[in-house]
Amino acid sequence: MENNLWQHILHVRNTSPLVHNITNYVVMNNTAKALLAVGASPIMAHAKPEVLYMVKISNAMVINIGALDEYWEEAMLLAAKNATLLQKPWILDPVGAGATAYRDTVLSTLLKYHPTAIRGNASEIIALADANASITKGVDSTAQSTEALEAAKTMVQNCNSVVCISGETDIIVSQTLKYLKYAETAIVVENILHESYLKTSA
């Protein structure tokens, strides 16, 4: 598993894919640096006049709903729809899912465009699957990763997405991997990323 992940990282470094990000200002700089550290080429763009073109020229896309408002919502929906039409892989980070009806409405629409992967904490994944009335506290999870396993399986079936539950124990759920406790390997990858980041920042 570790060797397989490392081969993927090497592939990213060799191909330097352009990754289009629609994300919030809090994590924008860190996201760009992390992508650079693994060898990808990040671009942050949420302006509606250019978002369709950005999706077209990019190899992949990330949508993080952390700084949600009406303008960003329209840009995200345009981008997600176009990524699906062009069969571009895209990742959904459902920050604060379950916190407000507005966020849930936007996420419900985004899910119609079948993100390739969904990454959230346990409370966010549970809220997305509408598995129960779990209360989310902003971006913090009030549930353990394992509590979201059934909700993640529901998301995999409904959206045909890979679902990544972050927490003390990270879990990945997909059609082929029923569930994978990923903590040990995640630490290895994190160490690789940190080492790469330190080298590029030196």
Q: Which 3 state secondary structure label does DSSP give 82?
A: helix
C-beta of residue 103 within 8 angstroms of C-beta of residue 68: yes
Give the pLDDT of residue 78. 98
Task: Give the pLDDT confidence of 104-128 residue by residue, as tens digits.
Answer: 999 999 999 999 999 999 999 999 9
- CB under 8 Å to 143, separation ≥6 — which residues? 121, 122, 123, 126, 134
124: tokens are 């966010």
Alpha-carbon span 150 to 134, nearest angstrom: 13
Residue range 147-157: mean pLDDT, rounded: 89
3-class DSSP state for residue 123? helix
Rounded CA gap, 141 and 34, in Å?
A: 23
- Provide the pLDDT for residue 1: 62
Rounded to an integer, what is the distance from CA 96 to the centroid of its chain?
13
Mean pLDDT of 6-21: 92
**Mean confidence (pLDDT) of the chain:** 84
